Each structure stands twice: as structure tokens, then as C-alpha cells.
Amino acid sequence: MDRFLSEFKRITEEAGFRAGIADKTGTVLYCPEETGLSQGDAIPAEGFAEIDLEPGQGEEYIIFAPRGTDTYSSDTALSALKLLRTCLTTARPEGISVSVIFAGALEGSIPNAGKQLEHILPELESGTEYRLLTACCTGEDSGDTGKDQLKQIGEVAAELFPEDHGYITAVFKNGAKGYVSTLIRTPVKSEEDVSPAEDYAMQLLDTAIAETMLDVRVAVSGGFTYPERIGKMALQTLEMLRLGEKFGIRNRCLVYEKLGLERLISSASEEDRLEYLRSVLGGQQWTDKSMQELLNTVSVFLQCNQNSSITAKRMYVHRNTVNNRIEKFGKLTGLDCTSFTDGVRVRIALLIIRYMGQGDAEDAPVD
């Protein structure tokens, strides 16, 4: 309360605005003598304009000011209070760094943190947008070891993207797991062109792995133009990292726009996913052990752009073995994996199998 009261006094004195502040019950905590009220008084039912103030950390107050005797004065008092509320709730708290406010926005632990950042950050120029780069170590990162790992990644990110160049980096937590996120600004060429942000993410990924020797993954959020969306975009990057693990994606750099199919599958109901599998593969045969070798071969075959020679080299088997398995799969399912249409249908089915954890996930890798 002391910090907001100090800021309240400073703003009202500089503006020459006679306003006071009360707790949520209407008991006056501070007001200038000119209002005719003292600390401990109740705000009168008439003669004062008042609005609620929620500066953060669960605090709730009321700010008030004399209305005046005419409609114009009453409206002016209310408008001035709204402006005062904006100043108080978006002002950067003294002694708190930008990275701390950024971490609060990522975690959702500091109310109005996004609005505070919006006033701190430089105004967006035409043709630019914000994106989040969120990095984590794969596997568990508990205790001091996990903290040290995050610190190392955070130091790499802060060095690559310094705050004095307009970037912000912070370590934050979601549940028991920790992450490092950097706010960047990139030029926008088209809705589908994410190469600048992806380039930044690859810089972070490659440097972090080289300097820390850790198993790092980085997710690139979709573009956004308002800092107050940082919390939602942070959750988006965490979901992308989760999907990367769930689908067994080998690429360590996960870009929002490039995970459209995975996001679609994860958003579908389990019933719809199972129905799709039944319509493509039939029955429940994708769970049979006898099908795992065929599914694995088909998966690699599709990853290799339906080239049996490349598939054979990757699997260390003879080309005829690959062709025989593809043919056998076709007889069992009625699908021709060498055709584009059937290949796409099977590819989606394999992604669903991987996402649902059915069958032998290790034998059906997907990129």
C-alpha cells in the first residue's frame, strides 16, 4: 500500500487534483485537507465521485474526489479519476526491474503486468510484432540442478538478446517446471513468414546447447501486437513444448505456425480421434503388436517422401523388404501409401496413434 499511496500523492500533487484514497469499505486512508475529510472518515454518499482501484497483489481500494455542483464538474471529476486510475495501475513500480514485471506477466502473478510493459516498451512501429521465444530443458529439472540449468539458459538468452536493444528475458515457472522466455520484436513480411523469429530461436537453441551442453528445446509463439497478451502467449508456447514431447517431434525448434496439424489433433475429442483411426485403419488393429513393424515402416516411408530406397537405408533393411511391408500394409487396410491422398490419411492416423500413446510409440517416430 505504501508504494501506491506514495505514487498517488505524487501524481495528485503534481496535477493539483484534490483526490483521496479509501479502502474497499469506503474508509478514508488519505485525502488532502481541501476535501473536508480526514483519515478514518467514511466517504459521504453524496458530493463525491468514486471508482474502484485494483493496483495488484490482491489489493482493492477506492479513489474519490469532490464532484462539484454542476454536471460539467461532476463529469470532469469522474474523468480525472479514471485517468488517475490508469496512471496508478500502469506505472512501473519503483525498484522493480522490467524483467521482474515480464516474469509476472508470463506467470500471471502480477495483475496489470502486461499493461505496465505496454507503457515501458517502445511504441510498435508499422510492420512489426512481438513474439515469445520460450526455452526449456527436456526431462525433469527439479531442485538446485534445475535452477542452475535455467540460469545458464537465461544468461545465454540475455547475452544474445540484451535488454538495452529492446529485448526482455526472464525465468518463470508453470507448475513445478521452469522456463526461460525472451520477448522479441520482428518485422512482419506476411502472415505465413515466421523466418525472422525462427532465426532468432535457432540462434538461442544452438548457442544454449553449445555453451551449456544441455538438452534444450525452444518454442516460438504466434505473433501479437499487445504486451497484455504475454500471459496467453506464454501458455501457447508451453502447449507447443508439450505437443513436441507428445508427438515425439525431433525438431528442437517448434514454431506455432508449423504445428497446425498437431494442434488440430490435440484439440479434437478422443472419440473423434478414435473414429478417424477406425475409418482409416479399421477395427482396433493399430494396437496389435503384429502391426507395429508395418506402422513403423510406413511412418519412415512417408517421412522419406515415399521413397523406398531412402527408407531402406534409414531402416538398415533391403529395399525389397520395405516394398513388401508397404504392400502388406495395403492389403490389410486397403490403402496405397504410395499415393498422395492415402499417404496423407495414414500420416494423420500415425500422428493420432502417437498422440494417444497407442501402439508402440518408439517404433513409430514422427518428425
pLDDT at res. 361: 37
Domain identity same for 61 and 78: yes
| 70 Cβ contact list (under 8 Å, min separation 6) | none
Q: What are phi and psi of 133, to 5 degrees?
A: -110, 115
| 336 Cβ contact list (under 8 Å, min separation 6) | 330, 342
d(CA 13, CA 320): 86
User: Closest by alpha carbon to 218, among 237, 236, 235, 233?
Assistant: 237
d(CA 353, CA 359): 7
Residue at a domain's end among 235, 264, 293:
264
Domain identity same for 70 and 129: no
d(CA 140, CA 186): 32
For cell 493539483, name the residue.
Answer: 16
Residue at a domain's end among 264, 283, 312:
264
Domain identity same for 207 and 253: yes
Domain membership of residue 181 as a residue range: 98-264
CATH number at residue 276: 1.10.10.2840
Cβ burial 331-349 (10 Å sphere, 16+ → b, else e): eebebebeeeebbebbbbb
Domain identity same for 170 and 66: no
For 16-84, the DSSP string reads T---EEEETTSBEEE--GGGT--TTPBPPSSSEEEEEEEEETTEEEEEEEE--SSHHHHHHHHHHHHHH
Q: Which amino acid is present at 263?
A: R
Domain identity same for 25 and 104: no
Report the length, in residues, of the chain. 367
Domain identity same for 184 and 331: no
Burial class (CB in 10 A: 0-12, 13-18, 19+), 154: buried
Grouping H, G, I as helix, E, B as strand and the rest as coil, residue 85 is: helix
3-state secondary structure 123-155: CCCCCEEEEEEEEEECCCCCHHHHHHHHHHHHH
Please list the pLDDT of the chain residue by residue as tens digits (367 residues). 555 677 677 777 777 788 888 888 889 988 888 888 888 999 988 888 888 876 554 567 888 888 876 654 667 777 777 777 766 665 555 556 788 888 888 988 777 777 777 777 766 566 678 999 999 987 655 556 678 888 999 999 999 999 888 899 999 988 888 999 999 988 765 555 667 889 999 999 999 999 988 999 999 999 988 888 899 999 999 999 999 988 888 889 999 999 999 999 999 999 999 999 888 887 666 777 777 888 889 989 998 999 999 999 999 999 999 999 999 988 888 889 999 999 999 999 999 988 887 544 333 343 4
Domain identity same for 109 and 83: no
How many alpha carbons fall within 13 Å on the CB side of residue 3? 12
Q: At what angle do helices 98-107 and 113-120 cross, to 10 degrees?
A: 140
d(CA 263, CA 257): 10
d(CA 90, CA 285): 58
Domain identity same for 144 and 280: no
Number of domains in the chain: 3
Domain identity same for 22 and 130: no
For cell 517404433, name the residue.
Answer: 363
pLDDT at res. 32: 84
pLDDT at res. 293: 84
pLDDT at res. 363: 38
Domain identity same for 73 and 111: no
Domain identity same for 115 and 250: yes
Within 10 angstroms of residue 44's Cβ, the number of other Cβ atoms is 12
Cα–Cα–Cα angle for 166, 169, 174, rounded to 5 degrees? 145
Name the grid cell of 54: 485494483
CATH number at residue 130: 3.30.70.270
Residue at a domain's end among 90, 111, 126:
90
d(CA 105, CA 117): 9
Domain identity same for 234 and 291: no
Within 10 angstroms of residue 327's Cβ, the number of other Cβ atoms is 13
d(CA 305, CA 41): 78
User: Closest by alpha carbon to 117, among 132, 133, 102, 106?
Assistant: 102
d(CA 250, CA 362): 12
CA distances for 207 relative to 160, 234, 249, angstroms: 9, 22, 21
pLDDT at res. 10: 74
pLDDT at res. 176: 82
